[in-house]
Amino acid sequence: MGRIRLTIPIVLFLLEIAFAGCGAGAADMAFSESAAMSEPAMADAEAAAGQQATDGAGEPRQVIANANISLIVADAATALSGVEQIVTDLGGYVADMDLSKGRYDESDVLRGSLTLRVPSAGLEEALDLLQALATDVNYLNVNRQDVTDQYSDLDAQLRNLRATETELLALLTEVRERPNAKVEDILAVHRSLTQIRGEIETLQGRKNLLDNQIDFSTIWVELIPDSVFRPIVEEPWSASGPVRNSLRALVATLQGLLTALIWAVLYLTPLLLVFLIPLAVLIWLVRLWVGRRRRREESR
């Protein structure tokens, strides 16, 4: 049966197994095998490193792009519907939503925040459409992080680990087929294989997370009703304003009273005289008639 190429760390690990389980004679045989295989393994490692350098030079940059945007809107409920429609049209989704109602200007208004996930290629379009929903933009921040080196390193580690896993599987098959195979040797290779598989799953999980962050951008959106954003005091308060306004009101009141007095003297007084003189003459005539009548009755 042909020899299976092993990397130097695996061969050293098997040497420890040989010393513990097989004695000095088995250790000498394992050492001679490792010496024969170490040189080709190192040559393969150098070739793989050169191939990684070549592949890394031409691969596209891996970038994670995220954004924060705060929108001042006329109505948060209407804006919320618009945001959900934008995300759906771009092929994204709403990952998180936090809405609350508060009382402002004697009315209940809705405000809140959302976490959006949109395809990274549509990030700029999403930001433009979101700004179109607002009466004003409080702030906008876009952050881009280049993770190409980290991504390439994960790829290289995964390739190496998978190559090691393949070698371990071949070694496990070889050990099982040996006539004098021991359970300890099989379990040792199996433990190494389990450890390698665990490392592969861990690195693959990190790579999947990076893929998701690269493919989908995160947008944190804040919706603020304009009634909430409106300042309590439009302009700085000054005492000169109220003093000036009160003096103007006092002067206007005095002017009104003086105007009423002038109208009373010059307009109402003549009118009163016109009506009072005939009334006084009438009263005098009535009293004169009544007096004469009384005197006639008394003379009888």
Task: Give the contacts of 18 (CB within 8 A, at least 6 positions apart).
Answer: 26, 27, 29, 30
- Range scoring the smallest mean pLDDT among 47-51, 119-123, 125-129: 47-51
Q: Which of 42-46, 70-74, 289-293 has the highest mean pLDDT?
A: 70-74
Please tell me the predicted confidence (pLDDT) of residue 214.
93
Please tell me the predicted confidence (pLDDT) of residue 105.
57
CA 111 – CA 285 distance, rounded (Å): 84
Please tell me the predicted confidence (pLDDT) of residue 6.
43
Q: Average of pLDDT values for 62-86?
A: 92
Q: Is the pLDDT of residue 22 over 60?
A: no
pLDDT, tens digit, for every residue of 183-239?
888 888 889 999 999 999 999 999 999 999 999 999 999 998 887 666 555 556 667
Mean model confidence pLDDT for the chain: 78
Please tell me the predicted confidence (pLDDT) of residue 174.
87
Q: Is the pLDDT of residue 277 over 70?
A: yes
Q: 142 falls in which pLDDT band (50, 70, 90)?
A: very high
Strand-pairing partners, residue 101, are 110
- Range scoring the smallest mean pLDDT among 7-11, 18-22, 208-212, 292-296: 18-22
Q: Is the pLDDT of residue 73 over 70?
A: yes
- Residue 34's CB is within 10 A of a number of other CB atoms, namely 18
- Range scoring the smallest mean pLDDT among 78-92, 130-144, 283-297: 283-297
Tokens of 11: 């061969």
